[in-house]
């Protein structure tokens, strides 16, 4: 890892740069595939599934038999773990329900807000070297709590044309209505436009590589909403001598093994800790099955020494990490002062992987600095807030004159007339 000591604020932007490609590098490919899927539907989806996944098959949709086979194949211990995680995720997200907000702004003018579910949502679940069945829980559970009617799931098939059994088990457990063996750009395009098999959805959720991220952003140009621009995973740990070096190293490696374009950063006020963590990383790295992937991610990562907590916090807020672990003698300082982070983990016994799987919080979070202006997925992500109002005869008299004056000042006579006619009907003259 790259060690950096007391970097000047003027250098922070360069030091904290993510190891991602620019949109220009991949946007042309994404647009080309979108255009073809829009025009040719399943034919184009099948073409790009063959090119990118090396699989050819006629039926994109997972059958009931395939689901039953997958459910039988998942070990009982894993089923129990998934069920525990599902229960905790349900508890946390159910607690996010809010009641109708209602107020009488002035006598006779009653306004209220209610939330309605987004009817059709799409879930993108990465497969490949790390099939993220946990992401199914993180997205399908709150979607069901919100009351979404149609939940469409796309995940890339393996070389045999199958989706990982644990993904299918979780999807079936969480009430996903349609499961499709489609990944990458073509999956996002399919859910954007709809094909003969893939339903068109109103909002797309889920993480993915940089191609999927750009595809989701392109989908917004065709009237489909997305959860956030979620790209390669990242983690920042702030720690001092009160932390356990082996724990810190394990957390850094837990994110590094996600992919070669992941990034992990340690910020510390202790040079001794930085050296100890670096040593631990090398020891633990040797034991990892995904060592080669983690090594490449570690090459993109940093060990940063700063003089004090105040400087550390300022640097962390500038970075805006997806995952933020706090393990210091002064945890409350960071908890109270953090402004830009997707999800925060506090103390020696709160690993980031707890949030990835089973504590109950959502692991679909903003990356690449988007924690500065996006929230992680939560129950409200699957709903729309609708406002209502009802005005009585007294109410229109109380606010009518103000509406007339404002409409006239903006030169919108029809707006004014809509009020004037009602006031005349009530025999209220100006």
Question: pLDDT tens digits for 318-374?
Answer: 999 999 999 999 999 999 999 999 999 999 999 999 999 999 999 999 998 999 999
Measured in degrees and rounded to the nearest 5, phi and psi for residue 184 equal: 65, -155
The catalytic position among 323, 352, 363, 404 is: 323
Q: In angstroms, rounded to a whole number, what is the distance separating the alpha carbons of residues 341 and 106?
A: 39
Taken in order 25, 30, 36, 39, the sign of the CA dihedral is negative
pLDDT band at 430 (very low <50, low <70, confident <90, very high): low
Q: Count of residues for the chain?
A: 430
Q: Work out the mean pLDDT of the chain and round it to a whole number.
A: 95
**What is the per-residue pLDDT across 199-246, written as a single tens digit (0 to 9) for each?**
999 999 998 888 998 999 999 999 999 999 777 889 999 999 999 999
Q: Which residues have a Cβ under 8 Å from the Cβ of 414 and sit 6 or more positions away?
A: none
Give the three-class secondary structure for 131: coil
Is 410 annotated in a binding site? The answer is yes
Is 322 catalytic? The answer is: yes
pLDDT surpassing 70 at residue 416: yes
The reported pLDDT for the residue numbered 21 is: 59
Taken in order 412, 415, 421, 422, the sign of the CA dihedral is negative
Q: In angstroms, rounded to a whole number, what is the distance separating the alpha carbons of residues 172 and 427?
A: 62
The reported pLDDT for the residue numbered 133 is: 96
Is 415 annotated in a binding site? The answer is yes
Closest CA to 346 of 322, 364, 328, 368: 328
Is 209 annotated in a binding site? The answer is yes
Distances in Å between the Cα of 5 and the Cα atoms of 27, 205, 302, 376, 405 are: 37, 39, 10, 32, 62
Q: In angstroms, rounded to a whole number, what is the distance separating the alpha carbons of residues 85 and 355?
A: 10
Report the percentage of the chain scoring pLDDT > 70.
98
The reported pLDDT for the residue numbered 386 is: 98
The catalytic position among 66, 257, 322, 352 is: 322
Helix (H) or strand (E) holding 297: helix 291-299
Q: In order of start, what are the domains of the chain with their CATH numbers? A: 2-20+232-360 (3.40.50.1980), 23-101+116-228 (3.40.50.1980), 392-425 (1.20.5.1300)
Q: In angstroms, rounded to a whole number, what is the distance separating the alpha carbons of residues 410 and 187?
A: 46
Q: In angstroms, rounded to a whole number, what is the distance separating the alpha carbons of residues 429 and 232?
A: 64
DSSP 61: B
Q: In angstroms, rounded to a whole number, what is the distance separating the alpha carbons of residues 153 and 176?
A: 7
Q: In angstroms, rounded to a whole number, what is the distance separating the alpha carbons of residues 85 and 206?
A: 18
Measured in degrees and rounded to the nearest 5, phi and psi for residue 162 equal: -115, 155
Task: Give the pairing type, strands 2-5 and 302-305.
Answer: parallel
**What is the per-residue pLDDT across 10-19, written as a single tens digit (0 to 9) for each?**
999 999 998 8
User: Residue 345 forms beta bridges with which residues?
Assistant: 325
Q: In angstroms, rounded to a whole number, what is the distance separating the alpha carbons of residues 211 and 312?
A: 33
Cβ(302)–Cβ(265) below 8 Å: yes
- CA 20 to chain CA centroid, nearest Å: 18
Distances in Å between the Cα of 387 and the Cα atoms of 102, 133, 224, 378 are: 10, 36, 22, 20
The reported pLDDT for the residue numbered 399 is: 98
The reported pLDDT for the residue numbered 58 is: 80
pLDDT band at 195 (very low <50, low <70, confident <90, very high): very high
The reported pLDDT for the residue numbered 18 is: 87
pLDDT band at 89 (very low <50, low <70, confident <90, very high): very high
Q: How far apart are the first and last CA of the chain?
A: 75
Helical pair 76-94 and 133-146, crossing angle rounded to 10 deg? 40
- CA gyration radius, the chain: 25
The reported pLDDT for the residue numbered 22 is: 62
Is 124 annotated in a binding site? The answer is yes
DSSP 160: T
pTM of the model: 0.93
**What is the per-residue pLDDT across 233-278, written as a single tens digit (0 to 9) for each?**
899 999 999 999 999 999 999 999 988 889 999 999 999 999 999 9
Q: In angstroms, rounded to a whole number, what is the distance separating the alpha carbons of residues 281 and 255?
A: 12
pLDDT band at 419 (very low <50, low <70, confident <90, very high): very high
């Amino acid at each position: 890892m790259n060690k950096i000591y007391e970097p000047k604020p003027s250098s922070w932007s360069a030091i904290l740069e993510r190891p991602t490609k620019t949109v220009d590098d991949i946007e042309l490919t994404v647009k080309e595939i979108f255009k073809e899927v829009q025009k040719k539907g399943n034919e184009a989806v099948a073409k790009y599934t063959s090119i990118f996944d090396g699989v050819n098959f006629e039926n994109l949709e997972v059958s009931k038999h395939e689901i039953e086979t997958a459910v039988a194949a998942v070990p009982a211990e894993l089923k129990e773990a998934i069920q525990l995680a599902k229960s905790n995720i349900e508890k946390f997200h159910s607690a996010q329900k809010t009641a109708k907000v209602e107020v009488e702004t002035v006598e006779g003018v009653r306004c209220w807000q209610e939330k309605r579910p987004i009817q059709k949502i799409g879930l993108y679940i990465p497969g490949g070297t790390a099939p993220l069945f946990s992401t199914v829980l993180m997205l399908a559970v709150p979607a069901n709590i919100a009351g979404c009617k149609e939940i469409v799931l796309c995940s890339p098939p393996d070389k045999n044309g199958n989706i990982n059994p644990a993904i299918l088990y979780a999807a079936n457990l969480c009430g996903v209505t349609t499961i499709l063996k489609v990944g990458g750009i073509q999956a996002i395009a399919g859910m954007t436009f709809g094909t003969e098999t893939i339903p068109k959805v109103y909002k797309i959720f889920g993480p993915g590589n940089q191609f999927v991220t750009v595809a989701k952003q392109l989908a917004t140009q065709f009237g489909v909403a997305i959860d956030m621009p979620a790209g390669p995973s990242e983690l920042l740990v702030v720690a001092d001598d009160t932390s356990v070096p082996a724990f810190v190293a394990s957390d850094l490696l837990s994110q590094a093994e996600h992919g070669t374009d992941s990034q992990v950063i340690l910020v510390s006020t202790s040079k001794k800790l930085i050296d100890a963590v670096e040593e631990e990383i090398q020891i633990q790295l040797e034991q990892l099955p995904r060592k080669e992937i983690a090594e490449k991610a570690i090459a993109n990562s940093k060990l940063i020494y700063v003089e004090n907590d105040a400087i550390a916090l300022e640097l962390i807020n500038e970075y805006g990490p997806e995952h933020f672990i706090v393990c210091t003698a002064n945890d409350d300082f960071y908890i109270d002062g953090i402004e830009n982070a997707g999800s925060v983990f506090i103390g020696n016994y709160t690993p980031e992987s707890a949030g990835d799987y089973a504590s109950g919080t959502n692991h679909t979070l903003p990356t690449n600095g988007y924690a500065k202006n996006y929230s992680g997925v939560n129950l409200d992500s699957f709903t729309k807030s609708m406002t209502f109002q009802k005005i009585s005869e007294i109410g229109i008299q109380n606010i009518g004159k103000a509406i007339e004056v404002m409409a006239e000042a903006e030169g919108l006579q029809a707006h004014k007339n809509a009020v004037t006619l009602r006031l005349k009907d009530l025999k209220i003259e100006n």
